[in-house]
Amino acid sequence: MPELNLPDLSALWPQLLSSLPAMLLIAAGAYAAHFLLCRALRLVSRHSRIPEHDIRPVVRALDWIILGLALALVFNVLGFNLGGVWTVLSTVLAMVAIGFVAVWSVLSNTLCTVLILVARPFSIGDEIEFVGEAMKGRVTDLNFIFTTLATEDGGEIRVPNSMFFQKVLKRRAGATTGKSLAEQLHAPARS
């Protein structure tokens, strides 16, 4: 029968025993932080109109944050260098956040296009103006990201479709209002 060569762990015992008080202190601090934050949130819940079941997700998130910080401190006490791990984690989180913002903007405009097609706040050929802003023109095109407005000076303004749900819009119906979108897109442009 082959003999197993297990590493000698007796050299680790002195380091673990010397780190034990610090680890116990970290565990006690984490428990105290959990207790105090939960207690504070329950008091806020009782003295405001926020139901306690709405605070539970916040408590869960705080629990995970406290646990993560406590584990990082324990690893630090044991001599593990978490600087490299933190750098990689923060870089990955930053890249995910940047990607999410970019995709969110495109998805927002696409969803707003669908809502514009369903709700029909304006049609191609209508003259629209954003109240309180110097942005106005006649709608000449609508795609999944932008609505194109022809201005009085012959220029074009491309307005992100999400803007139509954030601003007050003034509309004057054009000649093609009431026609289908296909008819509006193939109608000759008015001058």
What is the fold, at CATH topology level, of the domain defined by 81-191? Answer: SH3 type barrels. (2.30.30)
Burial 37-54 (b: 16+ CB within 10 A, else e): beeebeeebeeeeeeeee
DSSP structural state of residue 148: E
Question: Using one digit for the tens of pLDDT, what is the confidence trace for 84-106?
Answer: 777 888 898 898 888 888 788 88
Res. 153 pLDDT band, cuts 50 70 90: very high
Question: Using one digit for the tens of pLDDT, what is the confidence trace for 104-117?
Answer: 888 898 899 999 88
pLDDT at 43 over 60: yes
pLDDT at 42 over 80: yes
The whole-angstrom separation of Cα 100 and Cα 112 is 18
Determine the residue type at 65: I
Query: What's the token pair of residue 163?
Result: 């803007």
Burial 157-189 (b: 16+ CB within 10 A, else e): eebbbbbbeeeeeeeeebebbebeeeebeeeee
